[in-house]
Structure 1
Amino acid sequence: MTGDRPSAGHSSPLRRRRGQKAYESGLQAEQQALALLQGAGYHLLGQRLRTPFGEVDLLVENQHWLVGVEVKRRRFLSDSTTALHPRQASRLLKTLDYLLQTRPDWGRENTRFDLIAFDHQGQHCHLQDILRQY
């Protein structure tokens, strides 16, 4: 009975397609978020910035703020706005701290982390300073 199920460690073609679709949807959401931020006067410093602690989707600045941005897209906007869990919040704080240590020129007096959430129809919600509670 071979061919009925993928062997351990291998994903099925359907799973790979879903993963690719999710990846592309995430990239599209990040581009939409960036356009919103640029429309509000922010300038991009980096996108998908990877560190040993994790990744920041977007890092933007204006004359007053340095803002790390997590972008989430789910079927419903309410699911997107609650998709950030404490463990991920901790990783994001460590990631931003690492970036500021390795790039002191990015430091600002005012730094925060925002969440920009989208639903499947493109509706969005921008929640500022989401990690202050952590």
Structure 2
Amino acid sequence: MGTDESRRRAEAFGLAAEGWAVLLLRAKGWRILERRLKTPLGEIDIVARRGRTVAFIEVKARPDLAAGMLALQPRQQQRLQRAAALFLARQPRYAEGHDLRFDLVVIRPWRWPVHIADAWQVDRVWHPRRDRAN
């Protein structure tokens, strides 16, 4: 199997995992704002809102929960944080009056997906209105 073929299979598997994550989130009452949001600073798998909470959600398809959590390295977290800041700059209505967090959904074979709220903490997400004066 060539590199292009394995890349296509990985892409298809990733899309399917994100689809399962979306179903789980919708069942839990989340409204999906964006899927596969590509920015110059990074990609966010899912941006969702429920009530006053906006979550930037990374989806990992792994054999078990521990592997899914380990797959989210600090460097990737930083890319997601920068992409989230750009999203908020472009969509300031979600920055004001909303709680912001970073979640993880782990998709495991033949098991229910696991949604981990506040999978990692950041000191602060750049806020377009608050930081404009600084």
What root-mean-square deviation, in Å, do the aligned CA atoms of Structure 1 and Structure 2 show?
Answer: 1.6
Report what 1:114 is aligned to: 103
Which residue type is aligned with residue 106 of structure 1?
Y
- After TM superposition, the structure 1 stretch with the greater mean CA deviation from structure 2, 34-43 or 101-110, is 101-110
Q: How many residues align?
A: 122
Report how far residue 49 of structure 1 moved: 0.7
Write out aligned runs for 1:1-134 (5 A): 13-107=1-95, 108-132=97-121
Report how far residue 14 of structure 1 moved: 2.2
Which residue type is aligned with residue 78 of structure 2?
S
Query: Residues 15 and 77 from structure 1, CA distance in 2 versus in 1: closer, same or farther, beyond 3 angstroms?
Result: farther
Structure ID, larger Rg: 1
Q: Is the 8 A contact 1:77 1:124 kept in 2?
A: no
Question: Normalized against structure 1, the TM-score is what?
Answer: 0.83
Q: Is the 8 A contact 1:74 1:119 kept in 2?
A: yes
How far apart are the structure 2 equivalents of 1:81 and 1:121? 18
Q: Can you give the 5+ residue segments of structure 2 that lack an aligned partner in the other structure?
A: 124-134
Question: Normalized against structure 2, the TM-score is what?
Answer: 0.83
C-alpha offsets along residues 1-58 of structure 1, whole Å, 9 cap, x if unaligned? xxxxxxxxxxxx5222211111111000101001111011111111011111101100
Q: Can you give the 5+ residue segments of structure 1 that lack an aligned partner in the other structure?
A: 1-12
